[in-house]
Amino acid sequence: MINSMHYSSPIGEILLASKDNKLIGAWFEGQKHYSANADGTVEREDEALLKAKDWFDRYFNGEKPSFDEVNLAPEGTDFRCEVWKILCEIPYGETVTYKDIASRIAQKRGIEKMSAQAVGGAVGHNPIAIIIPCHRVVGSDGSLTGYAGGLDKKIFLLRHENCGF
């Protein structure tokens, strides 16, 4: 069973979803790939959802909570999960490029190179917005590329974290 609750953030409603007391989703209402893994949710709070709510409260109040304070269980392919794990390593207030992530994966796998576009696809399907900080990924030239929740939200989040945007 998938439990869910809504969180009102300064930049819009976020649907939080959990399964087996682990957070599987945090989607902006109407975002691309909205609640892709949360069909049949039941509006019911549980420990994972309350921890996520507390995490978001602290984040939007200017604190820097760590992703590991919430029991995360994003559902996706092995490749997507590998990318999402790397996203969790991006420090608060910093950005990396899709190319940087692709290079890390290529090096880890012992291959010459990895497609930055493939990384972009995985980043775009991140099911746990903000906590898994896909908003911290930018284009090779530092440009703000797409964001499933909308570019306006990405700009807000990067400014909130003093990333220079």
Annotated catalytic residues are 134
User: C-alpha angle with apex 74: 4 to 17, nearest 5 degrees?
Assistant: 5
Helices marked H in 31-146 — which ranges? Answer: 47-60, 78-87, 98-109, 116-124
| Pairing mode, strands 96-97 and 137-138 | parallel
Cβ contacts of 85-91, under 8 Å, gap ≥ 24: 87/123, 87/126, 87/132, 87/133, 87/134, 87/136, 87/137, 88/132, 88/133, 90/133, 90/136, 90/137
What is the amino acid identity at position 106? Answer: A
